[in-house]
């Protein structure tokens, strides 16, 4: 340890000392959830003092040392175990016995991004990465119904699942809404989602919306011979209403596999996400992350990263979560954030910002033991019996300002096609309307799969040609 560290350690008061161990022998021994924060002190404390205050407040402590501590309670202290003064980073280890039994993700977040984000002692505090030990992972649900199950239902492999969000975001009647769904499906699209505020509005009652979507889907399936999926927003004011919405969908006669449940995971909360995961293990649980920007935007010094949000969504059992367009679409985001997050939840093991996360307890060298079929599908955890071998994948959902022209640029940064994309304006703004917009999207995907440039492919594919012309001009105008 260098002398700067010695000075910092000497500066700690007796309370703070109990939350620091810069010589923690083996943080990856399985007892801890590990975390890395960007931390800038905001008050009178230096960085190690502030980090100790953060570790205290986010585990067992408070602003003063209390006389009610016990020898056991002290073993539950979070520990600052590493600091990087230059990069303003601190590593904190949380004994995971602190957390609610029974796989409760909400409870973890209440500790590690709870009160601490409001502390005076910090001017910046951003949780950049987390690491779960295999023994901890085993206690959490993880996804049940995955994108692989959806692919089987749709009979769609080796390309992105092509989706849309109905626009206008709000204001269509239930019949008008369903007509837009039909048009997209009839044009060759696979997946339609409610926009995230869709609920039981007076001009578009939920029950009628469900009924009309069922009719629209039946018609599209009959005509195209292809299976289709609709993701319904089941977020609601209370548990009973949320479940009523789920049951209404199930009882409307949809084929299992043809519906997903969308939940506004941040505004409705983690309890809602985990409730859906546990009650409906055979349904795709679609985590929409509206409001995440308040925590994840890089210019906000407080909060957590897209990677952290996404990893917790996988832990909680979301089948898929929005991970961003890596700057290719309309929302803020970079490959460093969005692609790292997407890979972080879809593979069995991946490099995060600081930690390499394995989602299995079986060594990578022993892939046969976890029933992995071959190298190409190394990210598919196959559970052959009930024993826990690993946590299933969570699907990146890619949305926000994308259009057919931007599909290939996104795939190029993403590096794989194992995702669902939902394009709203990118489909409904097509000059020929939704059905032709869907066809243009399918054509853009075909061009990618055939390795043909879309300009070239658009000769002979009128819908794509119109999309290229429209979106190129629209983007120029927007500039
Ligand atoms: O409605 C849309 C996109 O519509 P459009 O395709 O018309 O932009 C999505 O809810 C958000 O963009 C989600 O953002 P993210 O996926 O980044 O959470
Ligand atoms: Mg939306």
Q: What residue ranges define each of the domains in the chain, with the CATH number in brackets? A: 3-137 (3.30.70.150), 147-347+393-474 (3.20.20.110)
CB atoms within 10 A of CB 394: 29
Active site residue 288: yes
> What are the pLDDT digits (tens) for 425-448?
999 999 999 999 999 999 999 999
Give the active site residue among 126, 167, 212, 311: 167
Residue pLDDT, tens place only, 415-424: 999 999 999 9
Would you state the torsion angle of the CA atoms of residues 340, 346, 347, 350, taken in this order, to the nearest 10 degrees? 20
- Residue 200 CA, ligand 2 centroid: distance in Å: 16
CA of 28 to the centre of ligand 2 (A): 39
Question: Does the annotation count 408 as an active-site position?
Answer: no
Distance CA 342, CA 346 (A): 6
The residue from 214, 288, 343, 380 that is catalytic is: 288
| Backbone φ and ψ of 413, nearest 5° | -75, -30
Residue 423 Cα to ligand 2 middle (Å): 10
Q: Which residues line ligand 1 (CB under 6 A)?
A: 165, 167, 195-196, 289, 322, 324, 330-331, 399-402, 423-426
Q: What angle do CA 474, 478, 479 make, to 5 degrees?
A: 120
Per-residue pLDDT of the chain (479 residues), as tens digits, is 577 889 999 999 999 999 999 999 999 999 999 999 999 999 899 999 999 999 999 999 999 999 999 999 999 999 999 999 999 999 999 999 999 999 999 999 999 999 999 999 999 999 999 999 988 998 999 999 999 999 999 999 999 999 999 999 999 999 999 999 999 999 999 999 999 999 999 999 999 999 999 999 999 999 999 999 999 999 999 999 999 999 999 999 999 999 999 999 999 999 999 999 999 999 999 999 999 999 999 999 999 999 999 999 999 999 999 999 998 888 888 889 999 999 999 988 889 999 999 888 776 666 555 444 333 333 445 445 556 678 889 999 999 999 999 999 999 999 999 999 999 999 999 999 999 999 999 999 999 999 999 999 999 999 999 999 999 888 766 65
- Among protein residues, the one with the nearest Cα to ligand 1's atom 12 is 400
């Amino acid at each position: 340890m260098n002398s700067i560290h010695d000075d910092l350690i000497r500066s700690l008061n007796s309370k703070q000392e109990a939350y620091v161990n810069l010589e923690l022998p083996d943080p990856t021994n399985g007892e801890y959830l590990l975390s890395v924060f960007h931390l800038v002190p905001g008050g009178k404390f230096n960085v190690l003092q502030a980090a100790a205050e953060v570790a205290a407040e986010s585990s067992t402590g408070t602003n003063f040392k209390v006389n009610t501590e016990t020898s056991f309670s002290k073993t539950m202290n979070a520990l600052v175990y590493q600091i990087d003064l230059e990069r303003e980073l601190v590593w904190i280890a949380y004994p995971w016995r602190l957390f609610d039994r029974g796989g409760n993700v909400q409870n973890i977040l209440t500790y590690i991004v709870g009160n601490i984000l409001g502390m005076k002692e910090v001017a910046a505090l951003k949780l950049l990465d987390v690491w779960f030990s295999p023994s901890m992972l085993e206690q959490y649900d993880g996804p049940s119904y995955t994108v692989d199950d959806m692919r089987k239902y749709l009979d769609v492999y080796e390309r992105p699942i092509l989706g849309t969000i109905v626009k206008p975001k709000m204001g269509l009647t239930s019949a008008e809404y369903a007509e837009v769904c039909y048009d997209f499906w009839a044009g060759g699209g696979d997946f339609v989602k409610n926009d995230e505020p869709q609920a039981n509005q007076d001009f578009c009652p939920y029950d009628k919306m469900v009924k009309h979507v069922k009719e629209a889907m039946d018609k599209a399936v009959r005509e195209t011979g292809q299976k289709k999926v609709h993701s319904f927003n089941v977020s609601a004011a209370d548990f009973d209403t949320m479940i009523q919405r789920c049951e209404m969908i199930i009882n409307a006669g949809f084929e299992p596999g043809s519906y997903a449940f969308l939940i506004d995971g941040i505004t409705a909360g983690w309890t809602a996400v985990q409730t859906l995961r546990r009650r409906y293990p055979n349904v795709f649980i679609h985590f929409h992350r509206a409001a995440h920007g308040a925590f994840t935007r890089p210019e906000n010094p407080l909060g957590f990263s897209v990677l952290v949000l996404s990893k917790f969504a996988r832990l909680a059992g979301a089948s898929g979560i929005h991970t961003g367009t890596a700057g290719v679409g309309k929302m803020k985001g970079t490959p460093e954030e969005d692609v790292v997050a997407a890979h972080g939840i879809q593979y069995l093991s991946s490099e995060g910002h600081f930690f390499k996360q394995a989602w299995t307890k079986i060594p990578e060298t022993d892939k046969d033991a976890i029933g992995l079929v071959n190298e190409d599908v190394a990210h598919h955890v196959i559970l052959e019996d009930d024993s826990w071998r690993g946590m299933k994948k969570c699907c990146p959902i890619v949305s926000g300002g994308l259009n057919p022209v931007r599909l290939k640029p996104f795939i190029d940064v993403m590096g794989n096609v194992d995702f669902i994309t939902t394009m709203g304006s990118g489909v409904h703004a097509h000059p020929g309307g939704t059905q032709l917009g869907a066809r243009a999207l399918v054509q853009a995907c075909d061009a990618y799969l055939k390795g043909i440039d879309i300009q070239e492919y658009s000769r002979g594919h009128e819908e794509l040609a119109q999309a290229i012309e429209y979106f190129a001009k629209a983007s120029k105008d927007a500039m």
